[in-house]
């Protein structure tokens, strides 16, 4: 998969801008996280969460995979998923609700996933983007002064323009279309390290 340079550059600049614009993120109000669910799909990922005040945080998550497997199977993608969170009690403790966005690019095929529409990945390759947003709910457990655990689940909408190819190796284009997805747009079990 060849990432489109203008889009990748834009995403990286946006991510850097959001990190730099968090203002007064002092050391007690910053957390570094990894989503263990996402990592279980062989997708390295990292998130930073910054306190923006008494009830708000900004979570900036990114991850991806450039893996190719035997028989030319692919699971290449990248994802950027910012989220603004409102904490019921206080940041990094207890319940929160969030509004998240997502931008992703993918090149996936030759993988046997016997679940509904994903079963098409066994015989076809799909290449495209996903743009979306949704609402989420989560909970944050304090395990120790620095180590925490965070669960989150979100649902929303994603617009997915894609190109479908006949097989993994030959690459004959079959269809160019888009898909309007409504459903789960975020799921995480994150291990959190709070900086001090």
Over the chain, what is the mean pLDDT? 85
Other Cβ atoms less than 10 A from the Cβ of 7: the count is 13
Q: How confident is the model at residue 170 (pLDDT cuts 50, 70, 90)?
A: low
Q: How confident is the model at residue 34 (pLDDT cuts 50, 70, 90)?
A: very high
Q: What is the pLDDT of residues 64-85, one digit of tens each?
A: 987 777 777 788 899 999 999 9
- List, in order, residues 6 or more apart from 107 with CB less than 8 Å away: 1, 74, 76, 77, 125, 126, 127
Q: How confident is the model at residue 16 (pLDDT cuts 50, 70, 90)?
A: low
C-beta pairs of 41-44 under 8 Å, 24+ apart in sequence = 41/65, 41/75, 42/67, 42/75, 43/77
Residue with tokens 């459903």: 183
Residue with tokens 């834009």: 10
**What does the alpha-carbon distance between residue 68 and residue 88 come to, in Å, rounded to a whole number?**
43
Q: What is the pTM of this model?
A: 0.80
Q: Dihedral, CA atoms, 98, 135, 154, 85, nearest 10 degrees? A: 0
Q: What is the pLDDT of residues 142-160, one digit of tens each?
A: 999 899 999 999 999 999 9
**What does the alpha-carbon distance between residue 95 and residue 84 come to, in Å, rounded to a whole number?**
14
């Amino acid at each position: 998969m060849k990432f489109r340079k203008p889009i990748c550059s834009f995403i990286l600049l946006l991510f850097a801008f959001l990190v730099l614009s968090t203002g007064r993120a002092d050391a007690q109000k910053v957390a570094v996280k990894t989503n263990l669910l996402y990592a279980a799909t062989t997708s390295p990922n990292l998130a930073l969460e910054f306190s923006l005040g008494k009830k708000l945080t900004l979570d900036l998550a990114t991850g991806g995979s450039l893996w190719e497997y035997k028989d030319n199977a692919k699971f290449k993608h990248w994802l950027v998923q910012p989220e603004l969170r409102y904490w019921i009690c206080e940041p990094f403790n207890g319940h929160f609700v969030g509004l998240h966005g997502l931008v992703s690019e993918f090149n996936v095929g030759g993988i046997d996933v016997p679940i509904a529409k994903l079963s098409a990945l066994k015989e076809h390759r799909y290449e495209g983007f996903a743009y979306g947003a949704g609402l989420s709910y989560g909970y944050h457990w304090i395990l120790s002064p620095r180590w925490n655990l965070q669960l989150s689940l979100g649902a929303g909408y994603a617009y997915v323009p894609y190109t479908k190819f006949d097989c993994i190796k030959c690459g004959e284009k079959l269809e160019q279309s888009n898909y309007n997805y409504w459903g789960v747009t975020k799921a995480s079990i994150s291990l959190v390290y709070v900086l001090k």
